[in-house]
Structure 1
Amino acid sequence: MTPQNNLSSEKNIQKELTYIQKVWHTVAIVALLVVVILIARVAFNVLLMVLAGVLVSVYFHGLGDIIQRKTNWRRRICMIISVGGTFIILVSLFWLMGATISKQIAVLSDTLPHTINTAKAKLGETPIGQKILDYLSDDNSDTLMTTAKSFFNTSFGVLGDIYIILFLAIFFTSNPNLYKDGMIKLFPESRKPLAHQVIDRISHALKGWLKGMMLSMVLVFILLSIGLGIMSIPVALVLALLTGLLKLIPNFGSLAAMIPGVLLALTISTNTAIIVALIYIVTQTVVSNIVTPIIQNKMINLPPALTILAQVLMGTLSGVLGIILAVPLLAIVMILVDELYVKKLSETDIVIVPERSQP
């Protein structure tokens, strides 16, 4: 074999090795990106649970602030009353209403198949209702159920998440300054005042959201209990409680909560179903557009379209927990953008005034 042939064969071997190295480099980069995305998704879910724990801690401290202002007692005593009183009230409510609610849940589960069949019969009497039934009777129903299951089970291990959130809330409540000062220490000395300002503003926004949300849930529960009770709707207490809990999910929660109530009313008569739907709509409208804005006056104004987009995005990424925390998370992001970008941009803007021409 001539030296030229040896040289060309060595070059071919070197090209093949270079190509194989490039392939393996590409595979390694893709694998690394996949691992980073998976870690980021898990870390994001952990951050959501941290935010949920912060919200519970903000609730305890907000209630402690109210007790301290009214009584002038020591802070530790007020916090013990805040945490202990909350758990006592919850246990008392479950003890007083638990038997009634459990009976109504059993009745609802027993009558649900009959309710669905009756609703189908009522819908089949109208052309539009028949089209809806035709749509749901095809493979679309299976697709909808599969989508719903995957949507609500994405990352929402109920017991596990609640367990972690409660422990985080206890730690945040017991010594909040430890975590707040720890975050501020991460910033340089010149940025510490800005960090204090941002944290305080976020705290006020979260308190405003919590106040509005909790009062909205209670008012929706009371108003719907009265309205559905007047209409003699079965399991009115359970329906009102479900609607109050789903108030945690703006926009979509109200629509989802109205479906079982209207279906049950449809088993009585079509007019009753229309009246019940109006009760739901009026209650949600009054609470959402009058009561909640008054209570949440300390929270920044969030555009409705941006809120819906945030809910859809968070629901896709993190399931129900993401939907519930979409609004406070969006508020935090907007505060950070306002404090760290918008205000800095307005401070650095230089207005150039044109010189007047000399006569």
Structure 2
Amino acid sequence: MPPIDDKYTNKLIQKELTYIQKVWHTVAIVALLVVTILIARVAFNVLLMVLAGVLISVYFHGLGDMIQRKTQWRRRVCMIISIGGTFVLLGVLFWFMGSKISNQVAVLSDTLPHTISNAKVKMNETPIGRKILEYLADDNSDALMTTAKSFFSTSFGVLGNIYIILFLAIFFTSNPNLYKDGMIKLVPETRKPLAHQVIDRISFALKGWLKGMMLSMVLVFILLSIGLGIMSIPVALVLALLTGLLKLIPNFGSLAAMIPGVLLALTISTNTAIIVALMYIVIQTIVSNIVTPIIQNKMINIPPALTILAQVLMGTLSGVLGIILAVPLLAIVMILVDELYVKKITDIDIVIVPERSQP
């Protein structure tokens, strides 16, 4: 029997141990990755609520900055006017319009089922309408309802989200430098100027988005209130308010807000419904493509196709809150990519090109 080579046996044992260690390392990495993805999926809604709180805080500070520029008063006084004035204005609006809106909401809830029945009768008179009704009458309607419910669901419920967002906004508004300096402390010393620049640019872009969005909501509400009132459309004030609020959701919100207005116009006549639909389209087009870009002054320049893709993705991940915050979140991502990647590559090219041109 030949003698056993101890060195050879030890090498085999070491190889087996090394292979087992690599397998366990791979399993650990995959498990860590899966856990990280699951945590990120759960925490993503929390991050969106933080972003919503930041937006409210940006609004208060932006309004305070404007008051300070106009009056030259102290910062604390301007912020008190900004926050207190906003809540007082909202309270006055709800007090003046509350009873009228509540009456119109009651009328709308009573009228809408009858309006939908009339719309079905009118759609049955055309071949295209019959096809649409057949599609909705099948199992597709259940699928659409299930999709809509999941699409507009949130992690903690609407009221819970609003409660958390308001508290975050209060904390961010009361002492913004505390959180800003805390983020900058996480950055290496050599990158702190870049961190200040990125945060300032993000703040500037979010202020621009808020200015354009708020003015768009007010203008849409005023113009639609006047237009629907002239056309003698029932519950015109509620329809205009709903359209103004849904302006928070670009593209899809305008389409969703037009549906009840056109349905109610059908109770009067088909021509009235066509005129109301054209009114919605014209007002939304003017506000979205002319007024809003002028106010934002190219503070935030995002391609429309990219906006729609971001909304679809965010809606799938986080429901209605994701759709509302898709544009500001996309703006933040684009700024980060531009500051941390594009400008860095450009600077490298500027340094390298002259060296290549030397003889």
Q: TM-score, normalised by structure 1?
A: 0.90
CA-to-partner distance for each residue in 1:62-101, whole Å, 9 max, x for gaps?
0001111111111000000000000000011111100010
Aligned to 1:266: 266
Aligned to 1:117: 117
Cα pair distance change 1:105/1:210, threshold 3 Å: same
Aligned to 2:353: 351
Cα pair distance change 1:192/1:277, threshold 3 Å: same
Q: CA deviation at 1:355?
A: 6.6
Give the whole-Å Cα distance in 2 for the aligned partners of 1:81 and 1:298.
Answer: 29
Q: CA deviation at 1:38?
A: 2.4
Confirm whether residue 209 of structure 1 aligns to residue 193 of structure 2: no
Q: CA deviation at 1:185?
A: 1.1
Cα pair distance change 1:29/1:186, threshold 3 Å: closer
Q: Is the 8 Å Cα contact of residues 123 and 130 (structure 2) preserved in structure 1?
A: yes
Aligned to 1:62: 62
- Identical amino acids, percent of aligned pairs: 88
Aligned to 1:6: none
Q: CA deviation at 1:32?
A: 5.2
The 3-state SS of whatever aligns with 2:125 is coil
Give the whole-Å Cα distance in 1 for the aligned partners of 2:83 and 2:73.
Answer: 15
Give the whole-Å Cα distance in 2 for the aligned partners of 1:25 and 1:191.
Answer: 33
Aligned to 1:135: 135
Q: Is the 8 Å Cα contact of residues 154 and 321 (structure 2) preserved in structure 1?
A: no
The one-letter code sitting in structure 1 at the alignment partner of 2:247 is: K
Q: CA deviation at 1:36?
A: 2.8
Give the whole-Å Cα distance in 2 for the aligned partners of 1:243 and 1:276.
Answer: 13
Q: CA deviation at 1:140?
A: 0.9
Q: Is the 8 Å Cα contact of residues 198 and 339 (structure 1) preserved in structure 2?
A: yes
Aligned to 1:160: 160
CA-to-partner distance for each residue in 1:104-123, whole Å, 9 max, x for gaps?
11111111110100000111
Q: CA RMSD in A?
A: 2.1
Q: CA deviation at 1:254?
A: 0.4
Q: CA deviation at 1:155?
A: 2.9
Q: Is the 8 Å Cα contact of residues 204 and 298 (structure 1) preserved in structure 2?
A: no
CA-to-partner distance for each residue in 1:20-67, whole Å, 9 max, x for gaps?
x99999998776555433211121111111100000000000000111
The one-letter code sitting in structure 2 at the alignment partner of 1:123 is: M
Please give the residue correspondences for 1:319-334 in structure 2 after superposition, counting only pairs within 5 Å.
319-334=319-334
Aligned to 2:47: 47
Q: CA deviation at 1:182?
A: 1.0
CA-to-partner distance for each residue in 1:299-318, whole Å, 9 max, x for gaps?
23101111111000000011
The one-letter code sitting in structure 2 at the alignment partner of 1:351 is: V
Q: Is the 8 Å Cα contact of residues 53 and 172 (structure 1) preserved in structure 2?
A: yes
Aligned to 2:232: 232
Q: Is the 8 Å Cα contact of residues 119 and 266 (structure 1) preserved in structure 2?
A: yes
The one-letter code sitting in structure 2 at the alignment partner of 1:280 is: Y
Cα pair distance change 1:40/1:128, threshold 3 Å: same
Instruction: Count how many residue pairs are aligned between Structure 1 and Structure 2.
Output: 337
Give the whole-Å Cα distance in 2 for the aligned partners of 1:156 and 1:58.
Answer: 24
Q: Is the 8 Å Cα contact of residues 262 and 277 (structure 1) preserved in structure 2?
A: yes
Give the whole-Å Cα distance in 2 for the aligned partners of 1:115 and 1:38.
Answer: 45
Please give the residue correspondences for 1:4-153 in structure 2 after superposition, counting only pairs within 5 Å.
33-153=33-153
Cα pair distance change 1:27/1:125, threshold 3 Å: farther
Q: Is the 8 Å Cα contact of residues 225 and 236 (structure 1) preserved in structure 2?
A: yes
The 3-state SS of whatever aligns with 1:153 is coil
Q: CA deviation at 1:354?
A: 5.3
Structure 1 segments unaligned to the other structure (5+ residues): 1-20
Q: Is the 8 Å Cα contact of residues 208 and 300 (structure 2) preserved in structure 1?
A: no
Q: Is the 8 Å Cα contact of residues 156 and 318 (structure 1) preserved in structure 2?
A: no
Which piece of structure 1 moves more, 123-132 or 269-278?
123-132
Q: CA deviation at 1:156?
A: 6.1
Give the whole-Å Cα distance in 2 for the aligned partners of 1:57 and 1:355.
Answer: 53
Which piece of structure 1 moves more, 296-305 or 109-118?
296-305
The 3-state SS of whatever aligns with 1:351 is helix
CA-to-partner distance for each residue in 1:217-252, whole Å, 9 max, x for gaps?
000000000011111100110000000000000010
Give the whole-Å Cα distance in 2 for the aligned partners of 1:354 and 1:197.
Answer: 32
The one-letter code sitting in structure 1 at the alignment partner of 2:170 is: I
After TM superposition, which residue ranges in structure 1, 4 or more long, deviate above 2 angstroms? 21-38, 352-356
Q: TM-score, normalised by structure 2?
A: 0.90
